């Protein structure tokens, strides 16, 4: 048995169309923005104090950042090999920083992918503030993470999503995100486009600000 929510908060106007197609009454839908951005803004200053770039001997905009964790990318040997091949080729042009998720590390060991040549800097996972620092200072980001797609759009950092689809379509239509799938040639081509100054600039979507929770509370008050 499914119980339908009385109030639905959405992060983008496009989401309303999807809910209307599901026959959700329009009066239940409220566009308030992306609450994740409030967390980002709260901790951005602390992230700017991070020493992670110094620790890894990196320069601002002098490296690409990678995150991989989805089973569809790291659990299949040939798919993972294709992605790592792309990273190896990109590493000939720019340093590639890869804070490897435990799942990815496990598969790399299992598949014999541990000895990667080139300028690929593999580290253990880093904390939230250090990761934000790496993210906001990267030339571009390669990822299969939904949250990272949103964060890079907010930071105006080009993002290449190593997936065939995304649950954050606004990061593609309005933001800095480009879907590249898992084909190594496509990943490399789009990476080189960015390095050649042809990366997607994008805009920060409406209501991605520090007032989201206020709009949520204001909406809830109308139901009291």
95, β-bridge pairs = 63
Kindly tell me if the per-residue pLDDT of 62 is higher than 80: yes
pLDDT digits 0-9 by tens, 161-194? 999 999 999 999 999 999 999 999 999 999 999 9
Please say whether the beta carbons of 159 and 143 come within 8 A.
Answer: yes
2 pLDDT band (50/70/90 cuts)?
low
| Winning range, highest mean pLDDT, from 13-27, 130-144, 199-213 | 130-144
Q: What is the pLDDT of residue 13?
A: 87
What span, in angstroms and rounded, lies between the C-alpha atoms of 35 and 22? 23
Kindly tell me if the per-residue pLDDT of 1 is higher than 70: no
Please give the residue that has the higher pLDDT: either 118 or 62: 62
Which residue from 125, 124, 130 is spatially nearest to 46, judged by alpha carbons?
Answer: 130
Q: Looking at residues 7-21, what average pLDDT do you find?
A: 93
- Domains of the chain, earliest start first: 50-195 (3.40.50.2000)
Q: Which residues have a Cβ under 8 Å from the Cβ of 110 and sit 6 or more positions away?
A: none
What span, in angstroms and rounded, lies between the C-alpha atoms of 84 and 79? 9
118 pLDDT band (50/70/90 cuts)?
low
Q: What is the pLDDT of residue 53?
A: 97
**Active-site hit among 30, 69, 101, 156:** 69
What number of other Cβ atoms are within 10 A of residue 104's Cβ?
25
Any idea what the Cα angle at residue 75 is, between residues 81 and 172, rounded to 5°? 80
156 is known as an active-site residue: no
Q: What is the pLDDT of residue 142?
A: 98
H or E, element range at 161 = strand 159-161
């Amino acid at each position: 048995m499914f119980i339908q929510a009385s109030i639905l908060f959405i992060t983008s106007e496009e989401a309303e169309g999807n809910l209307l197609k599901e026959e959700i009454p329009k009066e239940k839908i409220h566009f308030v923005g992306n609450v994740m951005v409030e967390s980002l803004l709260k901790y951005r200053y602390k992230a700017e104090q991070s020493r992670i770039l110094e620790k890894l001997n990196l320069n601002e905009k002098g490296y690409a950042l990678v995150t991989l964790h989805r089973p569809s990318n790291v659990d299949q040997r040939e798919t993972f090999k294709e992605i790592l091949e792309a990273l190896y080729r990109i590493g000939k042009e720019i340093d590639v920083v890869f804070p490897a998720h435990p799942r990815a590390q496990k598969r790399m060991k299992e598949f014999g992918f541990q000895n990667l040549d080139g300028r690929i800097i593999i580290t253990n996972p880093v904390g939230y503030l250090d990761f934000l620092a790496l993210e906001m200072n990267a030339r571009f980001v390669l990822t299969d993470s939904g949250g990272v797609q949103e964060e890079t759009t907010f930071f105006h950092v080009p993002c290449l999503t190593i997936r065939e689809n995304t649950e954050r379509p606004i990061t593609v239509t309005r933001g800095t995100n480009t879907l590249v799938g898992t084909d190594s040639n496509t990943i490399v081509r789009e990476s080189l486009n960015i390095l050649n100054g042809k990366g997607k600039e994008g805009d920060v979507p409406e209501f991605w600000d520090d007032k989201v929770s206020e709009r949520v509370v204001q909406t809830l008050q109308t139901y009291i």
